[in-house]
Amino acid sequence: MDGELTTPWRPAAHLGIMHPDAPMLAATAGSADPIAQIACAARLGFAGIFDNCLKARSPTMQRHMGEALREHGLAMGTFTHNPMAFEPPFFWGGPIADVKAAITGSLDAAVQVGGGCVNVILLDCGAPFADQLERATNNLAAAAELAAERGVRIALESVSRARVPLALIERASDVAAVARAVGVGLILDTCHSHCVGDDMAAQIVANADILAAVQIADMPERVEPGAGDIDFAPILVALRAVGWTGLIEAEFTPSQPGVAGEAKAVAALRAFDSF
C-alpha cells in the first residue's frame, strides 16, 4: 500500500459509516481512533476524510480532529446531521419549534472540526406528503440561513428506501428540486442511485451547480468499486464533464477484511479513474 493515490479525483476515507468504531482503514491504521485514521489516510494519499458519526464525538475530539486535518493538509467532507445509529430519526418535515436549536449541534461540530458539509436526509414522519414538503422547505431554508451566517454548508442527500426505509423522497431530481428551493447543496451516492434506478451520471450533469458531495460504493454489498455490479464509467465521464474538483467520498466497507482487504480497496480507488 505504499505510494499515493493517482486518481485525479480527491478521495476521502470514512471514519465510520454507521458506527465510529468501524472506520474504513481500521486494520491499516491499527486503531479506530480518529486521529490515527486521519494520519493513516494522509499517509496513503487521501485528500480528506468524512465522518457520519462526527456528532457522536465529543467537542474536544472534534477539535483535535480539526487540528489533525490541518496538520496533514486534509479536507473535511460530509457528516450527518442525524447519526441514525445514535439518535432518534429527525423529521425536517415535521413541526420544529426552534430551528436554531435543531441545527446548532451540527453547526458547532463543523466549526470545531474546521469545515465540512452537514448531510441532511428527509425522512417521512407519516403526515401528508404535501404538508411535510412545505414544512421541510421552510425549516431547511431557515437552517440554511443560520448555517450561512457561520460559514457552514448544508446539503440534502438523495437516498433510497431500500437502504433508508423512512426516506421521504427517493428520486434525485425531486431531492434536487427541494435543495434548489431552500438554497442548499445536493449529495449523490452511487449506492442509492443504483437502488432507485437513477441515472447518476445524468443527475451529476443536471445538478452540477449545486453538487456538494459525491459518494461511491459498488453494489449490492456497498463495497469498493469493481467488486460489484455498478458501471462507473458514465459517472466518471460526467464528473469530468462538469469539472468536479470536490472530494470523492469512499462510503463503503472493503469486500475483504483486514489489512489485505483494505489494501485491495485502496487499490480500487487508485484505479477509479480507469473505470
Position 69, amino acid: L
State the pLDDT confidence band at 86, using cuts at 50, 70 and 90: confident
Q: Quote the CA–CA distance of 266 and 275 in Å, as a whole number.
A: 15
Do residues 212 and 242 touch, judged by C-beta distance below 8 A? no
Q: What is the domain partition of the chain in residue ranges? A: 10-274
User: What is residue 274's predicted lDDT score, i.e. its pLDDT?
Assistant: 63
For the domain spanning 10-274, the CATH number is 3.20.20.150
Q: Quote the CA–CA distance of 235 and 18 in Å, as a whole number.
A: 25
Q: Quote the CA–CA distance of 154 and 183 in Å, as a whole number.
A: 9
Q: Is 199 helix (H, G, I), strand (E, B) or coil?
A: coil
For residues 116-134, give the mean pLDDT: 98
User: What is residue 271's predicted lDDT score, i.e. its pLDDT?
Assistant: 86
Q: Quote the CA–CA distance of 117 and 106 in Å, as a whole number.
A: 9
CA angle 44, 48, 49 (to 5 degrees): 100
User: What is residue 84's predicted lDDT score, i.e. its pLDDT?
Assistant: 78
Do residues 258 and 27 touch, judged by C-beta distance below 8 A? yes
State the pLDDT confidence band at 2, using cuts at 50, 70 and 90: very low
CA distances from 87 to 71, 83, 91, 121 (A): 31, 6, 12, 14
Reported as a single tens digit per residue, the pLDDT across 176-216 is 999 999 999 999 999 999 999 999 999 999 999 999 999 99
Reported as a single tens digit per residue, the pLDDT across 46-85 is 999 999 999 999 999 999 999 999 999 999 999 999 997 7
**What's the whole-number average pLDDT of the chain?**
94
**Three-class DSSP labels, 217-249:** CECCCCECCCCCCCCCHHHHHHHHHHCCCCEEE
Helix or strand run (H / E) with residue 275 = none
User: What is residue 1's predicted lDDT score, i.e. its pLDDT?
Assistant: 39
Cell readout for 132 is 411535510
Do residues 21 and 32 touch, judged by C-beta distance below 8 A? yes
Position 183, amino acid: G
Rounded-to-10 torsion of CA 182, 187, 190, 193 = -10
Q: Which long-range contacts (CB under 8 A, 24 or more apart) does 266-269 make?
A: 266/1, 266/5, 266/44, 267/1, 268/224, 268/225, 268/226, 268/227, 269/5, 269/7, 269/11, 269/224, 269/225
